[in-house]
């Protein structure tokens, strides 16, 4: 029986399984899409290598169940922790501190995300 037996996988909700590589993919409105090994450090380095062309980025969790659309102006000051959590200085909502970051999708404008309405109002 597969490890994912009984679990449904959707294109918009990838299911991370045991043994998946610990990576971050930078995609979307970028000059260069790429995947790198996830390591602690500043997001600005990754974003700079991707040559982003958008003003927001949607940060996706590894389980595919949570996304946060964050302005690039704020995201460029973020770091990834040892545990893979997005850390932002003084975020307007704790919901932007995405756990297990696996993808950063650069976008033009804010995109639909997983924030509850009361948290979205803070942003």
Tell which wins on pLDDT, 17 or 75. 75
Tell which wins on pLDDT, 46 or 72. 72
Summarize pLDDT for 74-121 with one digit per residue, the tens.
Answer: 999 999 999 999 999 999 999 999 999 999 999 999 999 998 888 888
Confidence of residue 16 (pLDDT cuts 50, 70, 90): low
13 in Cβ contact with 64 (< 8 Å): yes
Residue 46 pLDDT: 85
Does pTM top 0.95 for this prediction? no
User: Does 6 score more than 70 pLDDT?
Assistant: no
> How, if at all, do strands 101-107 and 23-28 pair?
parallel
Q: What percent of the chain has pLDDT over 90?
A: 58
Residue 64 pLDDT: 87
Please enumerate, as own/partner, the contacts of 52-56 that have beta carbons within 8 Å and a separation of 24 or more.
52/106, 53/29, 53/106, 53/108, 54/28, 54/29, 54/30, 54/106, 54/107, 54/108, 54/109, 55/107, 55/108, 55/109, 56/106, 56/107, 56/108, 56/109, 56/110, 56/111
Residue 16 token pair: 């991370």
Domain residue spans in the chain?
23-111
CATH hierarchy code of domain 23-111: 3.90.420.10
Burial class (CB in 10 A: 0-12, 13-18, 19+), 91: middle
User: Does 2 score more than 60 pLDDT?
Assistant: no
Question: For 41-70, what is the mean pLDDT?
Answer: 92
Q: How far is CA 34 from the centre of its chain?
A: 14
List 104's β-bridge partners, or say none: 26, 59
């Amino acid at each position: 029986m597969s490890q994912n037996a009984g679990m449904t996988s959707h294109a918009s909700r990838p299911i991370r399984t045991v043994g998946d590589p610990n990576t971050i993919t930078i995609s979307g409105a970028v000059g260069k899409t790429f995947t790198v090994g996830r390591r602690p450090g500043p997001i600005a380095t990754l974003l700079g290598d991707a040559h982003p062309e958008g003003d927001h980025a949607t940060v996706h969790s590894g389980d595919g169940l949570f996304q946060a659309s964050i302005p690039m102006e704020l995201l460029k000051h973020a770091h990834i922790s040892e545990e893979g959590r997005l850390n932002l200085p003084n975020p307007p909502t704790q919901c932007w501190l995405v756990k297990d970051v696996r993808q950063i999708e650069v976008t033009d404008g804010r995109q639909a995300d997983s924030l509850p309405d009361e948290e979205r109002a803070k942003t």
